[in-house]
Amino acid sequence: MSARIAIAILAAAPFLANPAALHAQPPPEFSAPKEIAPGIFKVGTVTLDKNTSTVSFSAKVQMADGLLEYLLVKPEGSVHESLLTSEAAPQDVHMAMLLLGAKGMVQKGAAAPGRIDATTLAKAPKLTGDRIFLSVKWTDKNGKNQTLPAERWIMRKIFTPKKPVQIVNAEDGPWLYTGSYFYENKFIAQMHGTFAAMVTYPGALINNPRTGANEDHVWFVKTDAVPPAGTPVEFSIRLELQDKPAK
């Protein structure tokens, strides 16, 4: 596939405008997919497997405890509030997801906001996207390979006035592939280094559809489940193909 076709595919993705967050950057250069086995492609450092509807790439544990606003970012991103980091390019992940058939957000009607903040999110329609399932694979301290849904490494605190804080595990289940957006020929997930958000952020490729997603003080690392910071992991996204975006 040519670079021109690659750019055309990405440019077809939905977008919002967030000019306040932008700064000068050259237009991104996209990686052309290369088939390495039947149905399996490389897009940069990202592996696309059409046979299993999965996209996977290398990452590592960034935090073994603490408050989370993100599940996965680049090392140049908000690493102080992200469970995982990866050197992969968000634009390559997006390319691979589009080739699998993901569509991302579906925007309707109203003009895009000039700024995205808590007030905007409170008034904005609920994010839509493709149902995906996230998993992490790593080698434990005994040398055994382990695989879990990514949400098993996360917990939520429920704060109720005059009552003790309640701690619950993040619910098992799908995430939303929202696909980020373009503004002035810039792909926001790439520019901000954001793969997956715990707190609603349209600029991320992946968003959290669970209760509490609009709160920035309730998501925490499940310390007793997560391997030590620095542990290499394989991060996988499995697309659940369907006719209409999930809500």
What was the pLDDT predicted at 64? 95
How does DSSP assign 159-171, residue by residue?
A: --TTSPPEEEEPP
Q: Considering the chain, what is the average pLDDT of its residues?
A: 85
What was the pLDDT predicted at 186? 86
Mean pLDDT of all residues in 38-61:
97
Residues in the chain: 247
> For 202-242, what is each residue's pLDDT tens digit?
899 999 999 999 888 999 999 999 999 999 999 999 999 77
> For 118-146, what is each residue's pLDDT tens digit?
666 666 667 889 999 999 999 999 999 99
Helix (H) or strand (E) holding 145: strand 145-149
Counting residues of the chain whose pLDDT is more than 70, the rounded percentage is 78
* pTM, full prediction: 0.84
pLDDT at 93 over 90: yes
pLDDT at 5 over 60: no
Domain boundaries, the chain: 3-239
